[in-house]
Homo-oligomer: A and B are copies of this chain.
Amino acid sequence: MNHARVLRGGARIPARAPAATSRQQARTDATKRKLLVAAEQIFARDGFEAARLEDIAGLAGYTRGAFYANFQSKEDIFFALLERWVGQRISEVAALLAQQESPAKLLRALREHYAQITQDRRLALLSLEFKLFAIRHPEAHARLRARQRRLRASGGDLLRRIARVTDRTLPVSCTAAATGFGALSSALSLEHFVDPSMVSEQEIRRLLVVFFDAVLGSNPAK
């Protein structure tokens, strides 16, 4: 189904033109970004397999020519997207970690962070696509897993810090707890997309709070 070159990918290096053309460089960077943004939409909408490169290029305002000038294949842009995406998410968590707030506030902020996932359809579907791709493409598994791991680690760090400061003991490892929060959020939002009458947004929030408190909350001192 997929050949070994899946793992290749990467940026196209223009032979040997150091910084001669920093103007055109900016231009290609811009179209690359546009293509990535479009890909985000299309992959979330159609899934990796059903997504057509023409749709991606089209949404970005180009044709497939521009696509192949900037990426090597569908997998290539998929990985580039993952890279970008993990970076964004990590910096979000890092921002939370940076602000030296009280543990209680941090906790609320973290809960909000996961609750937000619920709101963003694109986000939820995209992260699902990444996971499914990892499961179904053994050659790419390690690569994808590494990225996801970095992401989870950042969430886990935040939890670890909260746990230490407030002197709590979690029933599972911090990364597992972070994984659990992410899992519940995205899965609930998925259910909501399929059938809002099964779980309202209010109920999603309430379930998240309940889960949060159960994992983190109620054992202030060991």
Which A residues contact B (CB, under 8 angstroms)? Answer: 1, 45-47, 49-50, 125, 128, 131-132, 134-136, 144-145, 148-149, 152, 171-173, 175-177, 179-180, 182-184, 186-188, 190-191, 193-195, 197-200, 203, 206-207, 210-211, 213-215
Bound complex: CA of A198 vs CA of B183, how far in Å? 12
Bound complex: CA of A198 vs CA of B156, how far in Å? 10
Would you call B183 and A187 a contact (CB within 8 A)?
A: yes
Number of copies of this kind of chain in the complex: 2
| Nearest 6 interchain pairs by C-beta | A214-B214, A187-B187, A49-B49, A183-B187, A172-B203, A176-B203
Contacts of A186 in B (CB 8 A): 187
Bound complex: CA of A83 vs CA of B56, how far in Å? 34
CB distance from A46 to the nearest CB of B (A): 6
Would you call A199 and B179 a contact (CB within 8 A)?
A: yes
Would you call B194 and A134 a contact (CB within 8 A)?
A: yes
Q: Which chain B residue shows the least CB distance to A198?
A: B179
Would you call A194 and B131 a contact (CB within 8 A)?
A: yes
Contacts of A214 in B (CB 8 A): 210-211, 213-214
